[in-house]
Amino acid sequence: MFTRLTSRMVAVCRSRPGHGARTLAVSILAIILSACTTVPKVDLAAERPVKTITMLKVIEPASQSVINLGGAAGAFGLIGALAQNNLNETHTKAYTELVQQRAAAFASPLESDLSAQLRSAGYNVTSVDLRPTIQTDGRTLDYTAVDVSDDAILHVWFTTLGYLSPPSKIAFQPWITVRVRLLEAKSRKDLYFKTFTCGYQPAAEGIVHLNADPRFEYDGFDALTANVDDSIAGLRECNRAIATRVAGDFAKAR
């Protein structure tokens, strides 16, 4: 059973866009991210000139996860893990409802911020409501139907968005993972491909990690839900930091 589980973990660790995972999958994903050993990392090279970019629509996450990697899971083995997973689901649902009540959006601000910064860096960026399809293996992205006339296609997607309490801490901290992929429009070869995290840092090689402001840490779920507006600001601040880092990478290649 362990071998089968490990194989499934490795499959998910590769390349899968966040089009709205179920809360159970989100809970499992917290452990999966820690088990990933490496992720793709491709820097944009100056010798591959890109002037015009078609940016695909960034999809809003269906939920904002709240995950405790310690709790009962760390104290009571498998039974504790199952109980903690149920609690994680309950907390995720409750926090997501609070965020939705405020009509808070994360995808469109990230898309607008990144496209604006790329334009400031000298790129001609066009945003379109297009996205790749997923092949039958459930994880491979297919850009065949994305027909553009620009030099490159920029695909940005969330794989996690919410708050997480790691085994070593009581406090919940921001937990955002964003993948950024730039493909040459004609060949569909990767010109740039990086995974960014802000807040919680998974033990995976190749991830670009950004620290979150410590003021967006909350000692327990009650503290998190009592400060929902501030916690939303913390997630948005992380998104801006990621956009700035990506734009900086692209500016270096000009």
| Confidence (pTM) | 0.85
| Averaged pLDDT, 15-21 | 45
Over range 44-69, report the average pLDDT. Answer: 92
Name the more confident of 237 and 10: 237
Asked if 110 and 55 count as a contact pair (C-beta separation under 8 A), the reply is no
Secondary structure of 162-220 in HEC code, one letter for each residue: EEEECCCCCCEEEEEEEEEEEEECCCCCEEEEEEEEEECCCCCECCEEECCCHHHCECC
Residues 158, 163: Cα–Cα separation, whole Å: 14
Q: How many domains are there within the chain?
A: 1
pLDDT digits (tens, 9 = 90+) for 202-220: 888 899 999 999 999 999 9
Domain span at 237: 2-252
Residue with tokens 């995976």: 204
Residues 6+ apart with CB under 8 A from 32: 9, 12, 13
- Helix, strand, or coil (residue 54): strand
209 with 143: CB under 8 angstroms? no
